[in-house]
Structure formats: C-alpha cells, structure tokens
C-alpha cells in the first residue's frame, strides 16, 4: 500500500474537562479498511468526526492525501467534498427526494450538469438497491434504505476516503445486513474506509485493521484475526469478553 491517505498526528481534544482524544496517532493507507471499536465514550465517534473537521481539535495535525486539514471556509468545504461521511442517523435531506439528495453535492459543489449528476446518481442508487425509490422522500423509506441512500450520496462525490460513524447502530436488526453488504462490497472494490462500528462480523469480514480505543486513547491496533483471537491489552480483553460472550 502506498502513501497514507489519512494521517492523524498527536491529535488532542477536550470537551470541557473531559479529555476525549489523547495523543491520537493514526495512519490510514489508500485502499485500507480500518475499523474503530471501543466502549461507549471512548472517543471513537469523535475521532471519526475530526477527520473531516465536524469536530475541531486543539493540538496535533490531520492531513488528507498530503494536504493539512484547513481551519474553515472554502478550502475546508473543498476538502470535505473529498471525504465521504455516513452518519448513525442517516441525515438525509428531509425536504428533498432521494434522487435530489444524491445529486445536490455533485451539482452544487462539483458543478456537474444536472443530467450527468442524475445519471450517475441512478447508477449508484441501482448499486445500493434503492433505485425504485428515487422519487420518494426520505421519511417514506425504511432505515436500511435511508442508510444505503446516504452511502450513495457520499459516493456521488467520488470521495477519496469514506467515514462511517456507527452506520448500523440506529437500524432494526433485520436491516443491518443490507447496509453491511453494501459496505463489504465497497471495501472489496478498494474504497478507503474508516468505520466506527460494533459489528464484529463486519470487522472480521472486511477490515484490514482493527483500532481499539478506550478513554480517548488508541490502546491497541492489529489485523482483525489477531485482535479477536489474541488481544494484547487488558482493556481489549475485558471489552471483547463483554461483547463476545453472547
């Protein structure tokens, strides 16, 4: 694998007195799929959100494809266009149709022609299996369908890397797999992904590396097979013991 696409160096962040990110150092290579797991409150969502600066941080640096993360304004918007983000609560634009959700970014940010953007959007909706719903509004779709649209919306920007912030945590159990299937497919196609999740099955199936966080620190990182069978730290052993016993 080549030059790292995402580099986080000594990143620190506080929420008031709470030190949510402590000296985070993380590199994600192009085409790599990194899973971030850890107990709730460990800072894993915050880590994910700092990568496209939905959360600010106080010290350290983050570069994406060699470019340092801009502080604000137009250059930050340009960078965000290259970084896809999928949220726990989908966050589809509620007043726009499914098709409009997917074409908004390409038309407004990439300045694509409407017809081109719509053609590409339909291809993507086809790929995630919701093309038939293109003219509906988000509230008319199931959670699983909405999340697949959200993935298509990110893909429409042709991102360099995609961030997933607990993409299946708000879904009914029977809808989790339809979203994970799309993500596994993406991983196979070589998309660079950072995924915060509790889905250990997905981690085993698609991840190149598991990053385990606790108390705002990266405690341990290893390939999934090693991590799940032979965790090194006590925190990881304790965590895995709690979630894998059932």
Give the 3-state secondary structure percentages of the chain, helix then strand then coil, rounded to 5. 40, 25, 35
Least distance CB 27 / other proteins (angstroms): 22
Least distance CB 24 / other proteins (angstroms): 20
Question: Does 92 help bind other proteins (rule: CB under 8 A)?
Answer: yes
Cα→Cα distances 196→46, 156, 228, Å: 10, 21, 16
Which CB, 64 or 200, lies closer to other proteins?
64
Which CB, 83 or 214, lies closer to other proteins?
83
Question: Does 193 help bind other proteins (rule: CB under 8 A)?
Answer: no
Cα→Cα distances 210→77, 90, 204, 226, 227, Å: 29, 24, 9, 9, 7
Among 80, 120, 148, 209, binds other proteins (CB under 8 A): 80
Strands 209-214 and 217-222: antiparallel
Which CB, 49 or 209, lies closer to other proteins?
49
Question: Does 244 help bind other proteins (rule: CB under 8 A)?
Answer: no
Question: Does 52 help bind other proteins (rule: CB under 8 A)?
Answer: yes
Question: Does 186 help bind other proteins (rule: CB under 8 A)?
Answer: no
Cα→Cα distances 5→12, 28, 43, 89, 172, Å: 20, 6, 21, 26, 33
Which CB, 77 or 243, lies closer to other proteins?
77
Strands 217-222 and 67-68: unpaired
Q: What is the DSSP letter of 92?
A: -
**Cβ 195 vs Cβ 35: under 8 Å:** yes
Least distance CB 108 / other proteins (angstroms): 6
Enumerate binding residues for other proteins (CB under 8 A).
52, 54, 74, 77-85, 87, 89-95, 104-105, 108-109, 137, 139-140, 150, 153-154, 157
């Amino acid at each position: 694998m080549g030059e790292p696409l995402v580099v986080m160096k000594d990143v620190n962040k506080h929420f008031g007195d709470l030190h949510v990110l402590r000296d985070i150092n993380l590199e994600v290579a192009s085409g790599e799929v990194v899973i971030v797991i850890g107990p709730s409150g460990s800072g894993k969502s915050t880590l994910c959100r700092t990568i496209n600066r939905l959360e600010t941080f106080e010290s350290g640096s983050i570069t994406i494809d060699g470019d340092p993360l801009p502080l604000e304004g137009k250059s930050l918007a340009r960078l965000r266009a290259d970084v896809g983000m999928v949220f726990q609560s989908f966050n589809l634009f509620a007043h726009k149709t499914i098709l409009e959700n997917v074409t908004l970014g390409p038309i407004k940010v990439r300045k694509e022609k409407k017809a081109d953007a719509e053609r590409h959007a339909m291809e993507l909706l086809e790929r995630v299996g919701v093309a038939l719903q293109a003219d509906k509004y988000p509230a008319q779709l199931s959670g699983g369908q909405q999340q697949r649209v959200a993935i298509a919306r990110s893909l429409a920007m042709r991102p360099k890397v995609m961030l997933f912030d607990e993409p299946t945590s708000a879904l009914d159990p029977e809808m989790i797999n339809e979203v994970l299937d799309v993500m596994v497919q993406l991983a196979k196609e070589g998309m660079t992904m950072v995924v915060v999740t509790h889905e250990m099955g997905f981690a085993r199936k698609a991840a190149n590396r598991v990053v385990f966080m606790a108390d705002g620190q990266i405690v341990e990182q290893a390939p999934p097979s090693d991590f799940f069978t032979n965790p090194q730290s006590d925190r990881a052993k304790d965590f895995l013991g709690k979630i894998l016993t059932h």
